[in-house]
Structures are given as C-alpha cells and as structure tokens.
Structure 1
Amino acid sequence: MLRDEEENAAELKIGDDFLKAKCLMNCEVSILLDRKCDQLKQMSEDAMNQIPQVLDKSLQYVQRFSRFTNQDAVKQVREVLSQCKLTEFELAVLGNLCPETVEEAVAVVPSLQTKGRGISEEAIEKLLNELMMIKKFE
C-alpha cells in the first residue's frame, strides 16, 4: 500500500509516531525556545555567538506565527482545548490556526466531524468562542 493511502489527517491516520507524540502549539514552542536563548545568553558574555542560528531562526518563526504570546493565555488555551477530548494533533492545529467559525475548524481539522467522536457543532463553536475570549483579553 502506498504511504499516501495509509496516512490521512482527515481520518486521524497520521502514523503511530504522531499519535503517541505530544504536539506543541507554536506559542508553546516559542516559550521553550525563548527560555533556552535566555539560558544561553546568561552562560556567555557574548550572547550572540552562543545562540545557534537554527535556534534563533526557529524562535523567530514560532514567534511570528504564534497566536498567543502571554504564558498564562497559552496555558488557558491548552486547558480549553484539552477539555474537548481532542487528539494532540487536533489540539495543536486548532491552537495554531485559531479558526473563527465551525466551518473553518472542520475545514482545517476534518476529523472533528468523524462519526462517533461526539463533538457537536455547538461544542466546536463554544470552544472557538473561548479561544477568541482568551485572545481578546490577552
């Protein structure tokens, strides 16, 4: 069987490695990388020479695409998304993209509408509203 036939994110067929892995949102990665850069700066007098370019570029990327910057807001987002019994993959995608409507959410994460999941459109809409409130008061 071809690899494309085996993996299908719409059906949460993303491979065992990804199903078992802890997925992080961009905003969580930003916090971690920022801490690492701070540690490197403290360990050296010449901070710019101690931060590897790949680390710096990665930090710039996740900061640019992070929807949430406040650490408390990031924690709230994970808590809100975790309450809906989402997989790590779904949680990370919704946290990164922050869709505004149920239609957008289902378009980016089709597995939300998989039969037997028990996630109604009302539950998705409530979840999206909570994310918008967190962003609004961040």
Structure 2
Amino acid sequence: MSMAARGVDAKKSVVEDANSLEFFEDFEQVSTVPLLLSEVEKILEARKDLQLREDPDAAMSAEFTKTLDYAQRFGHSRSYEADEALRSIMEELRTQTPDMEKRLHKFEEVQLINLAPETVEEAKALIPTLVRVDDDILENVLQQIMAFRSFAT
C-alpha cells in the first residue's frame, strides 16, 4: 500500500537528521523557535504546578519526571530575561554573518547555549555541523555566550 493510500503525507516522511541540519518542514518555519533547556524547565515546572493545583495527588509520568530532572540539571535556571538576552545576542551575531552558508542554524545556536562548550574544538566535537563555520566566527559566538554567562551569574 502506498504512503498516500495509508494517509501518510510524503513530505512528512522525511527523516530528521540533526547531523546534517535536515529537519521537518515545520521546524524550518521562521516562527518555529527551538527551546533552550532553561525554557523547557520553566514550561515543565509550570505544567507540574498546574497539575498539582488541579489534583494534589496526581503523579507525574516517569517520562515527564525524567525530562524535568534533565532540564533542571542542565538548564542553568536562567530568568526569562536572560534567555531573551541570549537569543538577542545570537540574532545580532547571525545578522553580522553575511555568508548564509557560514551562518549558524537556529538549532546550532540553541545547542551552543544548552551545551555550553568552552572552545571551538569542543563545540565542533559536540555539534558536528559546525565544521562549516569559520573558527573566528565560532570563537566570537562562544566568547559572547561566555561573557553573558559570567555577567549574568
């Protein structure tokens, strides 16, 4: 039976591959914004609080709890303002890079913030798609993120 006959949209059957920056069409929309771990933490905390207010005896699923634990551990618990400031830094750096091929993808930007590599080599090891980005550009991005982090803490 064909994918169309099964009700599967052929465009949606594309396999996502972060290693080659291939994502579903919806992810590539301008309005789609990948979340920072600190944002995931805030969303999950709000959901947990809401559920506990509605039903104090409610138990969160194991998956929810594991995801929240991960976000709390690695999300760096920044304020909304700090998250927005980091996004603004990334936007400014993106507009300063005229060569579209060397610009960071929004997925890469978020991963740089989430993973917090300290060197270009570490960044490229953690995020393989960064090999196409000049070391000077990437070094500048890392310095901006680290400067913000040291100022914000």
Q: Indicate yes or no: 2:34 matched with 1:23.
A: yes
- What's 2:53 paired with? 42
Q: 1:63 is matched by which residue type in structure 2?
A: Q
From 96, 99, 114, the counterpart of 1:96: 114
Q: Distance between the aligned counterparts of 1:129 and 1:96, measured in 2?
A: 15
Larger radius of gyration: 2
Q: Write the deviation string for residues 76-129 of structure 1: whole angstroms up to 9, x where unpaired.
A: 222222333332221221121111011222222233342xxxx53222212111
Structure 1 unaligned residues grouped into runs of 5+: 1-5
TM-score (norm 2): 0.65
Counterparts of 1:1-138 in structure 2, within 5 Å, are 9-16=18-25, 18-20=27-29, 21-44=32-55, 46=56, 49-53=57-61, 54-66=63-75, 68-71=76-79, 72-85=81-94, 86-114=104-132, 119-136=133-150, 137-138=152-153
- TM-score of the two chains, using structure 1 as the length reference: 0.71
Q: Which has the higher contact order (CA 8 A, sep 6+)?
A: 1
Question: Residue 34 of structure 2 aligns to a residue in which SS?
Answer: coil
Number of residue pairs matched by the alignment: 125
CA RMSD of aligned residues (A): 2.6
Q: Name stretches of at least 5 consecutive residues in structure 2 with no aligned partner.
A: 1-14, 95-103
